[in-house]
Structure 1
Amino acid sequence: MNDEFYNKGLERAKQKDYAEAIEEFTRALQLAPYFAEAYYQRGLAYYDLGEMLNAVSDFTEALKLNPQSVEAHYCRALARVALKNQPGALADVEQAIRLNVNYAAAYNLRGIVHRKQGYIQDAIASFKKAAELYLQQNDTENCRQCLEKIKQLQPKQKPAFVQPSPIIAPLKSEKEYFTQLLEKAEKGDTREAMEDLNWALRVDSQDAQAYCCRGVVRCKLGNYREAISDFNQALRLNFEDAIVYRNRGKARSSLGDHQGAIADFNQALQMQPQDAMLYVARGNAYRVMGYYLGAINDYSQALQINPDDATAYYNRGIAYTCLEEMERAVEDYQRAASLFCEKEDWENYQQVLDSLNKIHSPSSNSKEAKSNLLRQRLLRLVGGYWEMAQRLIDQAKYDYPGMSEEWYLQKVIGDWERDRG
């Protein structure tokens, strides 16, 4: 007979007649006081009626009879959240997770409780776990809702009054979300950025902006072919943005496709004609191809846009070296060194000094003057990169020990010119 009342209660609840459902479940419990499922279902009916205290009472009775009920712990947590009993809710939801580590709704609820308590990073971690589980269960809608909660919880950064780094506001759009992922990668956390982007693409395989951002991160990791594939997919999905062409150009240049890189930089410059970095990137491609005048023009254009661009000065100095215009090269190197010094960028500062020391004017000593001329000639042959020239000299010294410095320079120059026709 108790089953009859219980089944009637289920039917009434299904019809959303919660008051009548409660009466039927009560009749069932009068006949069977240890009927755990009847307490649980009556608790749900009380919850749907908004009678939270009665709901908590029934879920508690159900748990006395069946402490392993994941659903009863979860539903009591829901009722406790409504009653603003956050510690009690958290205890219940933690127990639900211990009983079922793949319970996506429990992680989602734990995120809500943590957010109410002000534990933002814990909330983000819970929402992320919930989204992963929803995704595994092909519950795309709930997964998207968790993603949206994560975006809303991104930390605020107070505006600074002195030349601050870009201020990160609370996320209000998908664009801001991806901007923060790129900033995360820029700071060196490429692994987490890749995880987030892979996750976003699993949620929506047609997200063009996610492909673009993943391509940028892959470039930072040196995975240029995979990066190009991502940029191509972004363009196929009609994501026409300078960032796609700029970074695809860098990837193509890194793989030796300098003509393709220049084509991409040209496309990006049509969209952002005042981007100094684009001119430097295109200038580098021109210089590697031996088109030194074109490279110098691009570096000069970059410096018109940003007169304090140390990288542009340094690269223009390399191009002048390749043309054997040593006075201009020295001038640019010195300016680059000063700017890197002001920025306390010691690695680039030392690199410029090393290049500068190799091309100072020859001394009055005729033998030293001849060596300097040979160094300048070798430097031009290797595109201005003295590190490459030094490796060739060191190899010659290893193969032919005991010879003079001038002999090694002539040997390397002769081998280089012979091997390249």
Structure 2
Amino acid sequence: MKPFIITLCFLCACIPSQGQTDSKLYKNAQFLLAKGKFKQSIRNFKKVIKNEGDSPGAYFNIGQGKLHLKNYESAIVDFTTALELRPKFPEAYYQRGLAKARLKNFENAIEDFSEAITLKSDYSEAYSSRGTAKNDLKNYEKALDDLNKAFQLGLRSDLVFGGRGRSKFHLGDYEGAMDDYNQALSINPNHAPFYCNRGLLKESLKNPSGALSDYNRAIKIDPKHAISYTNRGNLRSKQNDFRSAIKDHTKAIKVDPSYPIPYINRGVARVRSNRKDYKGSIKDFTKAIQMAPNMALPYNNRGLSKYNLGYFRESMDDFDKAIELDPNYAFSYRNRGKSRIELKQNSQACIDFKRAIQLGDSDANEFIEKHCN
């Protein structure tokens, strides 16, 4: 698993009152917004609306304040009101797109970024954020197109370089990705996600010591960066340091209890350690299933732990569910076949082994030779 952080650019662009006289109260609200005093700013903009009537600029700036306060759904309402009052308002589309992206509504965010670009063809920030959202949808080629367009328009932000690094990494351009991550970090050397992502890149380049250094740096910058703990734990598992891996995954869970990946990876580390803690791993995989019930991987892994404890029929239930969620999950077919062998269901097991081979699991040949001749 190679998770990435979502990184979007929040721009605080105070918008005038759009045709109305800029009152002292309005200017004061703008000043508070620019100073980062978001709650006070919101209160003052609301007073502007109450005293002076509806203003697209006031609603827009209220939305910006709420965006910074992470009140994303309410911010969307205010940006929408601003757009109702002023339909050709590219900044409002852009900021509403940011709020939607923060809610992981990436497709609708892309629609807003696209509308902003339609209204303002040189809107480099909108290209950058649309590229970021496309990265989150794993549409890496189109993401790179947008990020390159932002660059061509003159935007040299750390987010452009970091986003391009992410796209290039997934497209297999490791050299280009390294150049972009290095550039992003030269602009913003205190951004933990860039170190985290560069660490993954270094792992792919067979540089585990460099990867570990980057994960350590990310954690030093942001001790609550759960993904860096998870990735460092995965690296330590690869180095057979399972005790440290379990500690890292446990720390990731403490930092972000809603994140299912560390439970999965801690469960794997428990199984691979000398203790062979299958019961502990089952608890971890079960927790991951509760958090991500549509993910096939924890069902497969829990099934393996049950298999190793001799719970063959129960393990089949988990492999069945993994296959239901992902019909092309080769390993689950092989694993279900192994459970069926233990339950004397050899003919059905052989069907599973053959299906696993069709899906690319060559290791299933061993079981075909042993049980299916």
Give the TM-score of the pair, scaled to structure 2: 0.51
Contact 2:289 2:295 in 1 (8 A): yes
Match of 1:311 among 239, 245, 261: 261
- Structure 1: runs of 5+ lacking an equivalent: 1-114, 121-148, 364-370, 373-386, 405-421
Seen in structure 2, the aligned counterparts of structure 1 residues 354 and 267 have a Cα distance that, compared at 3 Å, is same
Size of the alignment, in residue pairs?
235
Residue among 332, 339, 358 paired with 2:281: 332
Does 1 or 2 have the higher relative contact order (CA < 8 Å, sep 6+)? 2
Q: Would the aligned equivalents of 2:258 and 2:291 in 1 still touch at CA under 8 Å?
A: no
Could you report, residue by residue, the CA deviation over 1:328-349 in whole angstroms, capped at 9, with x for unpaired residues? Answer: x432333323432443323234
Match of 2:37 in 1: none
Q: Does the aligned pair in 2 maintain the 1:334–1:356 contact within 8 Å?
A: no
Cα deviation, residue 360, structure 1? 1.7
Aligned-pair RMSD on alpha carbons? 4.3
The structure with more radius of gyration:
1
Pair 1:199–1:339, CA change in 2 (3 A): same
String of CA shifts for 1:238-285, please: whole Å, max 9, x gaps: 554212111111111233322211111111111111111110010001
Structure 1 residue runs of 4 or more that deviate by more than 6 Å after TM superposition: 166-171, 173-177
Question: 1: CA distance between counterparts of 2:95 and 2:187?
Answer: 31
One-letter identity of the residue aligned with 2:223:
P
In structure 1, distance between residues paired with 2:99 and 2:187:
35
Look up the match of 2:364.
394
Question: What is the alpha-carbon distance in structure 2 between the residues aligned to residue 362 and residue 197 of structure 1?
Answer: 51
Distance, in Å, in 2 between the alignment partners of 1:321 and 1:284 is 13
Residue 298 of structure 1 aligns to which amino acid in structure 2?
Answer: D
- Give yes or no for the alignment of 1:290 onto 2:259: no
Question: Aligned pair 1:346/2:295, yes or no?
Answer: yes
Q: Report the AA paired with residue 315 of structure 1.
A: N
Alpha-carbon distance in 1 for matches of 2:188, 2:294:
38
User: What SS does the corresponding residue of 1:330 show, helix, strand or coil?
Assistant: helix
Which range is displaced more, 299-308 or 215-224?
A: 215-224
Structure 2 residue ranges without an equivalent (≥5): 1-82, 117-122, 313-337, 340-355
Question: 1:248 maps to which residue?
Answer: 198
Q: What is the Cα deviation at residue 196 of structure 1?
A: 1.1
Distance in 2, matches of 1:165 and 1:212, equals 19
Q: Which of 184-193 and 217-226 deviates more?
A: 217-226
- Give yes or no for contact 1:310–1:337 (8 Å, CA) kept in 2: no
Pick from 221, 224, 231 the counterpart of residue 171 of structure 2. 221
Deviation at 1:185, TM superposition (A): 1.8
Number of the residue aligned with 2:96: 156
Which residue matches 1:379?
Answer: none
Report the alpha carbon displacement of residue 211 of structure 1 after superposing the two structures with TM.
1.2
Question: Offset of 1:222 from its aligned partner?
Answer: 4.3
Give the TM-score taking structure 1 as reference length: 0.46
Letter in 2 for 1:302: A
Q: How far did 1:393 drift? A: 4.6
Aligned-partner Cα distance in 2 for 1:355–1:222: 32
Name the % identity. 20
Residues 9-408 of structure 1 correspond to what in structure 2 (within 5 A)?
A: 153-154=93-94, 156=96, 164-165=103-104, 178-204=128-154, 206-237=156-187, 240-327=190-277, 329-361=278-310, 393-396=363-366, 401-402=369-370
Separation (CA, whole Å) in 2 of partners of 1:254 and 1:303: 25
Change over 3 Å in CA distance of 1:252–1:315 after alignment to 2: same
